[in-house]
Amino acid sequence: MPTQKVYLLRRASPKRIEGPDGRNLQLHFRSRLSLPLFTGGKVEGEQGAAIHIVLLDVNTGHVVTSGPESTIKLNVVVLEGYFNNEDDEGWIEEEFESHVVKEREGKRPLLTGDLQVTLKEGVGTL
Instruction: Going from the first residue of the chain to its last (126 residues), give the mean pLDDT of each consecutive group of 10, the final group possibly shorter.
Output: 44 52 82 78 82 91 93 87 64 81 82 85 94
Other beta carbons within 10 Å of 100: 13
Give the chain's radius of gyration (CA, Å): 15
Instruction: Look at residue 90 in the predicted model and tell me its pLDDT.
Output: 64
Q: Is 76 helix (H, G, I), strand (E, B) or coil?
A: coil
Q: Is 105 helix (H, G, I), strand (E, B) or coil?
A: coil
Instruction: Look at residue 85 in the predicted model and tell me its pLDDT.
Output: 62
Instruction: Look at residue 98 in the predicted model and tell me its pLDDT.
Output: 86
Instruction: Look at residue 125 in the predicted model and tell me its pLDDT.
Output: 92
Instruction: Look at residue 13 in the predicted model and tell me its pLDDT.
Output: 41
